[in-house]
Amino acid sequence: MEAVAAAHGIGRATGYRWRRDRAQFGDRRRVRKRKAEAQGRKLGRPFRVPSEQLQCLLNDEENPVQDAPIPVQQRINEIPLCPWALRYNLSNCEDAHMYVAAYSYGISASNKRLRVRYGHENKDREAYGYWDLIYFTDEAHFNLTESFQKPYILRRRSKRLEDSNIRTRNKRKATSITLHMYATVNWYFKSPLGFYNDEKDMLKAPKLPPKPRKSKY
pLDDT reported for residue 141: 79
CA atoms within 13 A on the CB side of 75: 5
Contact 199, 178 (CB under 8 A): no
Q: What is the DSSP string of 45-57?
A: SPPSS-HHHHHHH
Tell me the C-alpha distance between 16 and 29, whole Å. 18
Report the relative pairing of strands 136-142 and 152-156 from DSSP bridges.
unpaired
CB atoms closer than 10 angstroms to residue 208: 9
| Low-confidence spans in the chain with pLDDT less than 70 | 28-30, 144-149, 170-177, 197-206
CB atoms closer than 10 angstroms to residue 58: 19
CA atoms within 13 A on the CB side of 190: 0
121-144: b or e for each residue (b if 16 or more CB lie within 10 Å)? eeeeeeeeeeeeeeeeeeeeeeee
pLDDT reported for residue 214: 79
Extended beta strands in the chain, E state: 96-100, 102-105, 136-142, 152-156, 166-169, 179-185, 194-196
Contacts of 38 (CB under 8 A, 6+ apart): none
In the chain, domain spans:
2-38, 51-94, 104-196
Contact 179, 141 (CB under 8 A): yes
pLDDT reported for residue 185: 94
Report the relative pairing of strands 179-185 and 136-142 from DSSP bridges.
antiparallel
pLDDT in tens, 27-63: 766 677 777 777 777 777 777 888 888 899 998 888 8
pLDDT reported for residue 206: 66
